[in-house]
A and B are shown apart, each in its own frame.
Chain A
Amino acid sequence: DVKVTQSSRYLVKRTGEKVFLECVQDMDHENMFWYRQDPGLGLRLIYFSYDVKMKEKGDIPEGYSVSREKKERFSLILESASTNQTSMYLCASSLPDRGSNYGYTFGSGTRLTVV
């Protein structure tokens, strides 16, 4: 069964800490994405990557960075965690959109609480 795996289901971090969220996919997908999901705001795109070492900002990149050193792994980094980054973080992967896209496969999510 194909998978997107996020390393942690729940995390609690302190304000100012550097936080790493890891995501690994085994589907050989080129595209990988990081979203956060908040009540009433839905899913908002933070960053995405369409190839190794390639990245583009999404709609809310402030306070975040990413790393994609290998095709299967996409990491989200919170440089200095703040309480407003408390959220559910979802990683997703997909094939490139060549007119026949089959959507995202999501990981199980990481619920991050910053205290």
Chain B
Amino acid sequence: QKEVEQNSGPLSVPEGAIASLNCTYSDRGSQSFFWYRQYSGKSPELIMFIYSNGDKEDGRFTAQLNKASQYVSLLIRDSQPSDSATYLCAVNRPGTYKYIFGTGTRLKVLA
């Protein structure tokens, strides 16, 4: 089992819709969870982090964490073509400085 798993996609949504991206992780001790956005040919940029169970909202983005089920998700409301990118989930490896990345979900927002 991979430490961090994401569906590779592509996930296609129409402009204005809600995009839902999911990530599962294997280590129950993980405490820190991050979402990065990576445009083609560019480096990842941090868009959200979450530590506690529940929802965290920042503008059009909402991160959701469920530690009991070991998943973290990212919702993008009112999706725009400029949101088209690969979204990477990252999870800390407990007791270390290391963060493990999923392979990313490619999102395509159709105009």
The answer to whether residues A43 and B97 also contact, given A97-B32, A97-B92, A103-B34 and a CB cut-off of 8 A, is no
How many interface residues does B have (CB within 8 Å)?
A: 21
A99 to B49, CA, bound (A): 12
Flag the segment in A14-22, A62-70, A72-80, A105-113 that touches B.
A105-113
CB contacts (< 8 Å) of A103 on chain B: these are: 34, 36, 46, 49, 90
CB contacts (< 8 Å) of B90 on chain A: these are: 103-104
A48 to B100, CA, bound (A): 13
Contacting A at CB under 8 A, from B7-37, are 8, 31-32, 34, 36
The answer to whether residues A101 and B44 also contact, given A31-B97, A48-B98 and a CB cut-off of 8 A, is no
Main secondary structure of the interface of A (DSSP, over half): loop
Interface centre among A50, A97, A99 (most CB of B within 10 A): A97
- Please determine whether A43 and B43 come into contact, CB atoms closer than 8 angstroms: no
B residues sitting closer than 8 Å to A (CB atoms) are 8, 31-32, 34, 36, 42-46, 49, 88, 90, 92, 97-99, 101-104
CB contacts (< 8 Å) of A101 on chain B: these are: 32, 49, 92
- Please determine whether A108 and B43 come into contact, CB atoms closer than 8 angstroms: yes
Q: Whose C-beta in chain A lies nearest to the C-beta of B47?
A: A103
- Please determine whether B103 and A106 come into contact, CB atoms closer than 8 angstroms: no
A40 to B9, CA, bound (A): 12
Q: List 15 A-B contacts (CB under 8 A).
A: A40-B103, A42-B101, A43-B101, A45-B98, A50-B97, A90-B43, A97-B97, A99-B31, A103-B34, A104-B44, A104-B90, A104-B99, A105-B46, A106-B44, A107-B43
A102 to chain B, nearest CB (A): 7
CB contacts (< 8 Å) of A107 on chain B: these are: 43
Q: Whose C-beta in chain B lies nearest to the C-beta of A96?
A: B97
CB contacts (< 8 Å) of A104 on chain B: these are: 34, 36, 44, 46, 90, 99
CB contacts (< 8 Å) of B101 on chain A: these are: 35, 42-43
- Please determine whether A106 and B43 come into contact, CB atoms closer than 8 angstroms: yes
The answer to whether residues A42 and B49 also contact, given A103-B90, A109-B43 and a CB cut-off of 8 A, is no
